[in-house]
Structure formats: C-alpha cells, structure tokens
Amino acid sequence: MYDNDPRDAQWFLRRMPHPDVLKRVLKDDPVDRLLTTTRSRAIVIGGDDLMPKQSADEQAVAAMLNTAIAAAKRLASDPATKLSDDEEVALDLFTLLLSRPAIIIKGGRVHEDPENWPEVLAEAELIKPVIAGVGRIELADKFKIGTGFVVGDKRILTNNHVVCGLFELDPMAWRNTRPAFEATMKAYNKSWSDMPDTRPRFEMVGEFGSEKTNAVRINRVLGSHQKVDMAVIELDAVPNKAQRVTLATKQPATFKGHRVYAVGYPVADSPFKPAPLPILRRVFGQDETLGMKRFSPGTIMEWENEHLFQHDASTLRGSSGSCIVSFDDHRVVGLHFAGSYTEHNNAVPLWKFRKDTLLTGNGVLFG
C-alpha cells in the first residue's frame, strides 16, 4: 500500500470497527446480519421504499463474510496472525461494510445509521447543509463526469482532471501538456459562451430513486491550479436551495485518525484495478445506484507529501471533486481527487491554499 504502513494484520485491525462494535457484530449470526444490513445497497427499485436486488453473488458474499469473520476473530485474539490472500480480500469486504460504508443519500439526508459511526445520527442536522452544497458535474447530455461543491457565489470547486473530462482530454493533460490544456480551456469557455446549450450541467440532487432535479449550467472554467489537482468553475446561476460549504482555515487539531466524511457521486471502479464484484456491489450497489449521491465516512491517514494527505473514505471514479469534511465542525478540510477504496485515497488540504490566488482571485470563500 505505502511503505510505512504495510497492508498486514495490523492494518486491518486499524480499519476494523471499535472493539465494542466488533464484539456485537461477531456474535450470534454475523453473516446473516451483515447480508441483511447491506442488501439495500444493491438496489434497483426507487420510490419511497428502496428494494434490494436479488443478487447472483449472494453465495459468494456469504462465503467471503464467513472467511472474514473467522479471520477477524483470529485477529482479535492474536494481532500478529498471518493472513492469506483470500482472507485479505474477505476482510476488505468486512471492514468496508462496517467501517467504511458508502451510504445512499435520500431526500438530502444519509439513508442509514451505521453502527460504527454514531456521529451520523447524532449530527444529522449538521451534515444536511453539507450534502446540500455538493453536486454532480455532467456533460450537456447528462453523462456523469465527477463531483463539485459550492464555495462561493456561483462558484464550485472540483479537480483539474474532472475539467479534463469536460474537455475530452487525457486526465493528466492539465499537468503533462499544460499549454495545450490552457488553450483548450480558453476554447471551451468561448464555445460554451457562443453555444449555451452545449454547456455542462451541475446537478444538485442526483439521488437514487428520485425524479427530482436541481441543475444549473456551467458557465466557464475560471482557473486551474498548476501544481495540485484543483480547479474553480463558475455556474450561470445559484442552484435553488444550494448551500455553500464552509472551508477550514486551519489543520484539524488531531490529524492522523481524524474522523471525516466524503460526499460525492461514485460512478465506477477504475478499469485498471478492478475489485472483486461482490465487494464493489455490496459497498457501492449495482449499476443502477452508481453515479448517485453518497455519504462515505472514514479517517485521515497521513501526509502523502506537503500538499496531499491520505484518507480512507470509500470512493470511486466519479467521486473526484468530493469534499472531505471534518466530523468535528463540518468544515471542508480536503478536496478528494484519486485513490483506491481498498487501500487509500488522496486529497488536497484546502486550508493550505486559503491565500492561493487561484482561490482568492476567483471568489472562493473560506470560513
């Protein structure tokens, strides 16, 4: 995974639920409990009642959970135990379901009350305005590209590589071919001005099982950071009932292990590192639920370098541009941009850029 934190038994122990929660989960019939808890994530029928999809991978999931539970019990009694490859894959599913869920948002609220995250229920009213500040970035034909969040008057923050998606460029064009990227940005801004119907959309709802929409058009890309994966976009109007998220102005007092959450629109796993389907489907649902607004709790892991930190909230491609929010004060500490939900993700520490001219010069507000 990364050099100073190997993916071993201790790594899985750190990702497991609180010991009291783990004890409750591991007694009685944990496989049946977990299957019941997570069936609602693999859903296809909307409306007031989200109905589970009868999944062909049910037996595979049950087998993986049996393996995971046996390994978890062994780990609880012997933290130095050795894990097989199959046990590692099974424990990925187990820890993601319990400790790092990706929960469907319905009616602007978190749809579940995860056992390992009591803050979700206790602070539901404080989380709701953050959810109302996050939207899905789409092409004019509604093809899903990524995520953004409201940071000022008609201003949203997202990733450079999400902007590349709008321009049909390689995701790293903003860094690798900078002059061409900037020329393309200028050309697209002009074409969107000349042909308003071709402008991309910013959809503030995008919830599974909902026909509601609250979309505005993207007016132009105001600027792109040259060193980190961050861009500022101007909307053509303020979305109805949209909330501006509050950006943190300083580093959390506790950093490593700090509890955070991501809000975004996971679309699909990377084609280059596909996870086993039973894991993907149980954490993120099936095709019909992908690209819909989700809430993913996790923790800050450590610094990747001076301008990037790692977190382990569950995200997919499409989550790019999600806000990483502190449970302490519900301020946005990071801009998510890449990673793997079975290992670690990266985010830009926004408080370090509070005086950056890309943000101060383009109407991005802090505090």
**pLDDT band (50, 70, 90) for residue 279:** confident
Nearest CA-CA partner of 95 in 64, 122, 124: 64
Question: Would you place residue 58 in the very low, low, confident or very high pLDDT band (cuts 50, 70, 90)?
Answer: confident
Residue 259 makes CB contacts below 8 A (sequence gap 6+) with 117, 119, 297, 298, 299, 326, 327, 328
Round to whole Å and give the CA distance between 249 and 254.
15
Residue 229 above 80 pLDDT? Answer: yes
Percent of the chain at pLDDT exceeding 90: 61
For residue 55, is it left (φ>0), alpha (ψ between -120 and 50) or beta?
Answer: beta
Q: What's the mean pLDDT in 243-251?
A: 97
CA dihedral of residues 56, 62, 65, 71 (deg, nearest 10): -130
Write the pLDDT tens digit of every residue in 317-356.
889 999 999 999 999 999 999 887 777 899 999 999 999 9
Cβ within 8 Å of residue 36, ≥6 positions away: none
Q: Is residue 120 within a helix (H) or strand (E), and if so which, with residue range?
A: helix 118-122
Phi, psi angle pair for 336, to nearest 5°: -70, 140
- Would you say the pTM of this structure is higher than 0.85? yes
Greater pLDDT, 19 or 281: 19
- List all residues 6 or more positions away from 174 whose beta carbon is below 8 Å from its beta carbon: 160, 161, 163, 164, 181, 224, 229, 231
Confidence grade of residue 5 (pLDDT, cut at 50, 70, 90): low
Region 87-91: mean pLDDT is 90
Residues 285-302 have a mean pLDDT of 87
Q: What is the dihedral of CA 100, 104, 105, 106, to 10 degrees?
A: -150
Query: Which strand (E) or helix (H) includes residue 264?
Result: strand 259-264
Average pLDDT taken over every residue of the chain: 89
Q: Given a cut of 90, is residue 55 above it in pLDDT?
A: no
Rounded distance between C-alpha atoms, residue 330 and residue 181, angstroms: 34
pLDDT digits (tens, 9 = 90+) for 262-271: 999 998 755 5
Tens digit of pLDDT for each residue in 61-85? 888 899 999 999 998 889 889 999 9
How open is the CA angle 343-347-351, to the nearest 5 degrees?
145
**pLDDT of 44 strictly over 80:** no
pLDDT band per the 50, 70, 90 thresholds, residue 18: confident
pLDDT number for residue 275: 60
Segment holding 147, helix H or strand E: strand 144-152
Give me the pLDDT at residue 269, please: 58
Q: Is the model's pLDDT at 299 over the cut of 90?
A: yes
Stretch 117-137: mean pLDDT:
96
Per residue in 93-118, pLDDT (tens digit) is 888 888 899 998 999 999 888 888 99
Is the pLDDT at 286 greater than 80? The verdict is no
- Residue ranges and CATH numbers for the domains of the chain are 9-101 (no CATH), 137-235 (2.40.10)
pLDDT at 178: 97
Please tell me the predicted confidence (pLDDT) of residue 108. Answer: 96
Q: Which residue has the higher pLDDT, 135 or 284?
A: 135
In the prediction, which pLDDT does 45 show? 45
